[in-house]
Structures are given as C-alpha cells and as structure tokens.
Amino acid sequence: MPKITLEHVTKRWGNFYSVEDLSLVIEDNAFVTLLGPSGCGKTTTLRMIAGLETPTSGRITIGDQVVFDSAKGINVPASQRHVGFLFQNYALWPNMTVYENIAFGLKNITEPRKLTKQEIDERVREAARPVKIAPFFDRYPAELSGGQQQRAAIARTLAPGPKVIFMDEPLSNLDAKLRLEMRYELQRLHVETGSTFVYVTHDQMEAMTLATRICLINNGVLQQYSPPLDVYNKPANVFTADFVGSPSINFVLAKGAQRADGAIELVVFNGRKLVFKPSDPVNMEHWFANRDAALAAKAEAKNAARILPGYVEKGNKDERFSCHISKANDEEFDTTPMAELTNADFILGIRPEFVNIASCNGLAGEIYGVMPTGMESTLKIRVDDWLLTGVVFGAGQFSIGAKVDVSFAGNNIMLFDRASGDRIACGTLELA
C-alpha cells in the first residue's frame, strides 16, 4: 500500500513559482485535501504527483518507487504510476455509453492477465453502486445532467481499483444538495476502497469535513499540514485562521506586553483593556528571539540558493497576509508596513462561537445586525467603531441597537504576532 512522499518539490514557469519547495508525506490510506485560494498551486501539485506535469526540481516517491527525481533524472510516466484521476473538467468519452465509459479502463488491464467479459461486468456494477449511476448505463454523456456525468466519471475512476485516487474539485458541478450527498459517498468510498485519496478543493467546508489531513497552500507555499480540527483550532498563522471557518474569524488589532506572571496585557479598540492568558506558558522574549532566528536562517538559505546555478528569483513575491478588520463605517485591511511594527503589536483571533453576549460584565457594545437561520443566529456586535461577529445557538430575541456586553468564552482565543502573522499561543481573554 502506497505512501506518497514529496521532497523539496518546486514547479516554476519562468520566474513564476506555482509550487515552491513543497515537502509533504501523504500516509497510506489517508484522505488528504489540498486547499487554498484559486491559483495557489493545488492542481499543479496533483498533476506533478500523478506524472502529468514535470517538476522543475525535487523528488517524489510513491510506495517504495521513486517516480521523480530531478537530481537523478528519474521520471516515471503517468501510466506506470498506478494512480486513478478525476479531473476538474472530467471528460467522459462522448461516443460511449456510461457503461462503456466505466468499462473502458478495465478492458486495458493486462496485468496479471486480461479480464473476462463477466469480470468486467461485475466490476462495472460494483463501481456504479456507490454513485447510483446504474440506471443510466445505456445513456450517452450528452443525455445526462452535469451531476450524473460527474457520478459516471467517479465510477469510471473507481472501476480499475486504483490504490491512489486523485480528485480535482470533482464536485464542483453539482448543486448544493447533491454535493453534500456526494461528500458522504466519498467518505464511505474512502473507507470501503482502503485507497489513499488526494483531493483538491478551494471549498474550506469540503476540506474540513472530508479530510484526515488538510494541506493548506498559499502562493505556492505550504502554510499548514494538519488534521482539520487542528487547522481550525490551532492555525499556524493568520492566513490559515482566516481561510477556514464560516462565518470567518474575528481579527482584532492589539498592543501590549507580557506581565511577570506570563499573562499579556492588551489594549484594543478605543483604549479598552484586556488580558490574554496563554494555555501553555510562553516566554515572549524567547518567542520573538526564535522568530528572528528563523527569519535570519531563511534569509541565509535564500542567499545561499541565489548563487547556485539555475537559480531564478521568485516573481510572484510572498506578501504578508493582510487581515480583514471589520469596522462599522469602513473596511480596513492591516497593511501597516513591517518596518513600523514592533514586538508590542499583536492580532487577536476570536472565532465567532467564542463571542459571548451577556447583560453585564463585558465590553459595552450594541447589536448591529442579526441573521437568524433557525438553528443558530449570526450577530454583528458593534464595539466602538469595530464590528465583531458572534454565533449563538437558537433564534434568540435580539433587536438592533440593543445594548449588550461582550465577553470571550473558552481557552481557544488566539494570539498572533502582527509582524510575521504567526500564532504565538491559544488562551483565554478576559477584561482587565
């Protein structure tokens, strides 16, 4: 059973780095989703593993076979990598019926021997069952809806029983309800087939619900590779915190310093005072020293790479992610230049479910907007000029303009370094 390893894989076109120095281990039987904004390099990554795109440099191993190694000149063709694909633009053969489409790959199997007609029939039916496409066996692709075509394409991919299945946004053409149903089917297929799934999506919800591990990419650079709940609760940086979660996380700019007891005193909004208590002790002085050492090491590695033959400067520069700060009267993105930021500048990350509404003992604010959906209500709460998003269970009675007190629940409030965007700690947030 194969495990897939990527070591320092880079793909660039000219000076445009589609994927930069990606190292990743996809464990056997994993369900890994490649997640990230449009153009971040997801499809390119998948195509390189599958053998449809040649990396500029690096090494890829599937099972115990090195399928690509730029240093050794190894490049195993796609047909010999024993993987199944399902593409963003799945193409069924238009001149074949659904049945013939699914059977097509099976007829080409020659190892250990050719399959008999009856064996092919059994495997076509087996592959069609989970996606419920059997009733349409005799139709041509042009006679199917988009969703039915997609299901037929999934069956065609499954039929030869690949040990590794690559899927590139396979559900993008389905309506919301069918999409949700297919998600459950894919989850079951993953368990039933015991195959390794690598799945590309830019839908964070799909990535969260399906994956055993999420690989989050931005501008060709790996941001985090962790189980979904870790990405949600312990995001590596402000980009990951922002990318997963709906409604989005609240970012609050803060200034402050660490006290002798380890807590961090912060000033937010129009001079409101809060205290952040890390769940695990952090020494801020050490944390900043480590950050600077890591930055220096990275710069040094870059300088060392620059003098190597064939080095090309990255044209699509990595920019600092600018957090969206929600305000009542205007929009604000944190675009303060790095040079103006000090070690007293922080960003708080507060998930909407941890914003508590009470009638006393909190930051004085008022209800700015209410969106009840039946099961829960999403609230916008105004504190000074800023807006916080909160989610409460049930359809409570909230009226716009009502005075409320805001407090922060639990120990999953995040503290980020504003200069690097990296997460320093999770902890509790209380009024000073």
Ligand X SMILES: Nc1ncnc2c1ncn2[C@@H]1O[C@H](COP(=O)(O)OP(=O)(O)OP(=O)(O)O)[C@@H](O)[C@H]1O
Question: Where do contacts with Mg ion occur on this chain (CB under 5 A)?
Answer: 43
Instruction: Residue 83: name its binding partner from Mg ion, ligand X, none (Cβ under 5 to 8 Å by kind).
Output: none
Residue 214: strand pairing partners:
33, 226
Smallest separation (angstroms) from ligand X to the CB of 79? 21
Instruction: Residue 202: name its binding partner from ligand X, Mg ion, none (Cβ under 5 to 8 Å by kind).
Output: ligand X
Question: Where do contacts with ligand X occur on this chain (CB under 6 A)?
Answer: 13, 16, 18, 36, 38-44, 202
Q: Using alpha carbons, select from 424, 286, 257 the residue that is nearest to residue 345.
A: 257
Report the residue number, 8 or 255, with the smaller CB distance to ligand X. Answer: 8
Alpha carbon 270 to chain centroid, angstroms = 34
Instruction: Residue 44: name its binding partner from ligand X, Mg ion, none (Cβ under 5 to 8 Å by kind).
Output: ligand X
Return d(Cα 411, Cα 277) in angstroms, integer.
9
Backbone φ and ψ of 389, nearest 5° = -100, 130
Smallest separation (angstroms) from Mg ion to the CB of 87? 9
Instruction: Residue 41: name its binding partner from Mg ion, ligand X, none (Cβ under 5 to 8 Å by kind).
Output: ligand X
Smallest separation (angstroms) from ligand X to the CB of 176? 19
Smallest separation (angstroms) from ligand X to the CB of 2? 23
Smallest separation (angstroms) from ligand X to the CB of 202? 5
Return d(Cα 195, Cα 192) in angstroms, integer.
8
Smallest separation (angstroms) from ligand X to the CB of 192? 28
Name the CA dihedral angle for 80, 82, 84, 87, rounded to a multiple of 10 degrees.
Answer: -30
Which pairing describes strands 16-26 and 4-13: parallel, antiparallel, or unpaired?
Answer: antiparallel
Output the residue with the shortest Cβ distance to ligand X.
43
Smallest separation (angstroms) from ligand X to the CB of 225? 16
* ω into 37 cis (within 30 of 0): no
Instruction: Residue 359: name its binding partner from ligand X, Mg ion, none (Cβ under 5 to 8 Å by kind).
Output: none
Return d(Cα 75, Cα 59) in angstroms, integer.
10
Helices (H), 159-267: 176-193, 204-210, 228-233, 238-243
Report the residue number, 78 or 282, with the smaller CB distance to Mg ion. Answer: 78
| Cβ-contact 28, 35 below 8 angstroms | no
| Cβ-contact 2, 62 below 8 angstroms | yes
Report the residue number, 44 or 420, with the smaller CB distance to ligand X. Answer: 44
Smallest separation (angstroms) from ligand X to the CB of 23? 17
- Full strand arrangement of the beta sheet holding 74-75: 16-26, 4-13, 57-62, 65-69, 74-75
Return d(Cα 14, Cα 315) in angstroms, integer.
9
Instruction: Residue 18: name its binding partner from Mg ion, ligand X, none (Cβ under 5 to 8 Å by kind).
Output: ligand X
Report the residue number, 51 or 278, with the smaller CB distance to ligand X. Answer: 51
Kindly list the distances between the CA atom of residue 8 and the CA atoms of 70, 82, 111, 144, in Å, as whole numbers in the listed order.
Answer: 10, 23, 33, 43
